[in-house]
Amino acid sequence: MDYSPGPRGLSKGLRILFLGMDGPLSRAVLAGLLAQGHPVVAMLRPGSGPLRAVHGGGSRAPQAGELLPLVDPQVQATASGLAHREGIPVYTTGDPRSEAIHAWLAELAVDVACVACFSLRLPGSLLALPRLGFLNVHPSLLPAYRGPAPLFWQFRHGVDPVGVTVHWLDEGLDTGDLAAQASLHLPEGISGPEAEVRCGRLGASLLGQVLAELAQGRAPRTPQPPGGSYHPAPTPEDFRLDPGDSARQAFRFMRGTAHWGYPYPVTVGTRTLHLLQALAWTPSPDPPPLRVEREIAHIPFRDGTLIATHFRWPSSGTAGARPQRKR
């Protein structure tokens, strides 16, 4: 078990719906909720088409009052796999505005919905159905880094420490009232998935504290301060490196975002390399010139040398080719 520690049994009377995806952050938050003894009665994840109950590797529309367990998860190390193991039914939807999902959520009669990495916008009519509303775990210190990929941009900008916020969902994009926040230092060279796990564990701990307050009749709410920032999903150009920046920051950025599968273009003089994996960096106030040894490149940056693998162009037969995102 990799459940997170937290206050156990403090919201025994609160029925919880969990909304998430099958990435590391969602699983870490769900694991933390279960470890704390919170009664999660169902999980909803994004999908395609109308509301469906996942069942036996396929799916079908749920009948009135029916909760179907996930019996054949493809990957056990996911939020869906964890829900299956704990006997929690899993549903998917591609249309959170439909009458079917409104009727389903009303019949489910949950007290509060807990969200961790859910890609669909939820309408106000759905947000109003749980008695206590929707709480979202967001891996940044809001109002900074609103948007769908906050950890990417914090790696991109060299933010340290990063942070986690639990906030109330409204119809805006990460604009709802704050319920709890905490900062988090990430080790140098940490991968993106491991960073999501650590943020998810912290988010689960914060969420547990908020749920305990709700169970005692208190609802912590603080309006977000003015300002903040919003960043969209990254494009391939957002992976480009500038040798005028810090080698340490480039190393941390590459390590933290490698799971996206894009190459990292960098131009030194007249030569452009497409980097693949950051191996190390060495500090130096006057780094030596660019050196390329087969698959390994030593790239001078402002404060040192970045050592990374790079894409080697085939000698023939692929003129005009470009490195592609890994699948």
Do both 155 and 279 map to the same domain?
A: no
Do both 173 and 268 map to the same domain?
A: no
| Residue 257, domain CATH | 3.10.25.10
Do both 208 and 289 map to the same domain?
A: no
Residues in contact with 237: Cβ distance below 8 Å, sequence separation at least 6, in sequence order: none
Do both 272 and 190 map to the same domain?
A: no
CA distance 52 to 75: 19
pLDDT tier, 239 (very low <50, low <70, confident <90, very high otherwise): very high
Do both 159 and 76 map to the same domain?
A: yes
Do both 258 and 198 map to the same domain?
A: no
Do both 61 and 208 map to the same domain?
A: yes
Region of poorest pLDDT, from 7-11, 44-48, 183-187: 7-11
Could you count the other beta carbons within 10 Å of the beta carbon of residue 284?
14
Residues 252, 256, 261, 263: what is their CA dihedral angle, to the nearest 10 degrees? Answer: -10
Domain count, the chain: 2
- What pTM did the predictor assign? 0.86
* pLDDT at residue 275 in the model: 98
Q: Give residue 21's domain range.
A: 16-215
Do both 34 and 155 map to the same domain?
A: yes
CA distance 41 to 72: 19
Do both 130 and 172 map to the same domain?
A: yes
Could you count the other beta carbons within 10 Å of the beta carbon of residue 248?
19
Residue 88 lies in a domain: yes
Do both 255 and 130 map to the same domain?
A: no
CA distances to 40, 136, 261 from 91, rounded to whole Å, are 13, 19, 29
Do both 248 and 203 map to the same domain?
A: no
Residue 241 lies in a domain: yes
Residue 251 lies in a domain: yes
> Which of 79, 80, 129 minimizes the C-alpha distance to 107?
129
Residue 299 lies in a domain: yes
Region of poorest pLDDT, from 136-140, 233-237, 314-318: 314-318
Residue 316 lies in a domain: no
Residue 142 lies in a domain: yes
* pLDDT at residue 105 in the model: 97
**pLDDT tens-digit map of 181-195:** 999 999 999 999 999
Do both 210 and 240 map to the same domain?
A: no
Residue 173 lies in a domain: yes
CA distance 303 to 262: 25
